[in-house]
């Protein structure tokens, strides 16, 4: 039996969103083919996490020093702890997110900022950072309307790159399923999306 964390970072309706379709396809196929696993779904837009900034940084510093926290600081330090514990308790993680304005949606950036704690997810050494959260399987489900798999466009892609960089810092090398080009090539959109959803379902069976 595995603990599986399924994370959705898109609040658009299913019929309008390719990444929500990838997410729902994965969740359904995985549940059907792994009935004994424990699946936890995390909807990052619904979670409405406070922005990660000075309140969080001060809260975490004070907690590490055993100092007294304000109620707002206590709330955010507890949220950081809860999400780190949940992530580390999972054997497998699925993250579905679109490319928006060359980046990942803000709630996913906030969520990963909560997790990215030195000393817990990675540690610094004289030879460079070492990941502390390896040993779990992670797959990224991503869609983007344009084509970024070409050499000239790849530097502009900032969603997969951002998520992957963080995971690799933590010692995790994720798999990726990417649907791309359906806005750029509308005549082929239906086929591109269907092919990607079929690939997503196939992958979920053996994940």
Residue numbers of the site for ligand FMN (CB under 6 A)? 10, 12, 17-20, 98-102, 143-146, 183
Comparison of 33 and 184: residue with beta carbon closer to ligand FMN: 184
CB of 198 to ligand FMN, least distance (A): 16
Closest CA to 121 of 129, 138, 6: 129
Report the alpha-carbon distance of residue 113 to residue 102 in Å, rounded. 18
Comparison of 98 and 174: residue with beta carbon closer to ligand FMN: 98
Comparison of 131 and 146: residue with beta carbon closer to ligand FMN: 146
Comparison of 83 and 144: residue with beta carbon closer to ligand FMN: 144
Report the alpha-carbon distance of residue 161 to residue 166 in Å, rounded. 9
CB of 140 to ligand FMN, least distance (A): 13
CB of 147 to ligand FMN, least distance (A): 8
Q: How many residues does the chain have?
A: 207
Q: Are strands 122-123 and 130-131 parallel, antiparallel or unpaired?
A: antiparallel
Handedness of CA 39, 45, 46, 52 (dihedral sign): positive
């Amino acid at each position: 039996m595995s603990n599986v964390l399924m994370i959705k970072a898109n609040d658009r309706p299913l019929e309008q969103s390719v990444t929500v379709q990838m997410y729902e396809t994965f969740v359904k196929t995985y549940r059907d083919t792994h009935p004994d696993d424990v699946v936890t779904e995390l909807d990052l837009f619904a979670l409405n996490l406070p922005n990660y900034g000075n309140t969080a940084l001060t809260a975490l510093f004070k907690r590490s020093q055993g100092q007294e926290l304000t109620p707002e600081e206590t709330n955010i330090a507890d949220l950081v702890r809860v999400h780190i514990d949940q992530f580390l308790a999972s054997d497998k993680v699925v993250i579905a997110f679109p490319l928006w304005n060359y980046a990942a949606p803000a709630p996913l950036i906030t969520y990963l900022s909560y997790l990215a704690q030195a000393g817990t997810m990675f540690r610094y050494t004289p030879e460079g950072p070492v990941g502390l959260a390896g040993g779990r399987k992670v797959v990224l489900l991503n869609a983007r309307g344009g084509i970024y798999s070409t050499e000239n466009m790849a530097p502009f892609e900032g969603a997969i790159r951002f998520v992957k960089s963080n995971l690799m810092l933590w010692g995790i090398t994720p798999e990726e399923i990417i649907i791309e080009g359906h806005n750029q090539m509308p005549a082929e959109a239906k086929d591109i999306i269907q092919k990607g959803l079929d690939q997503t379902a196939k992958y979920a069976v053996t994940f």
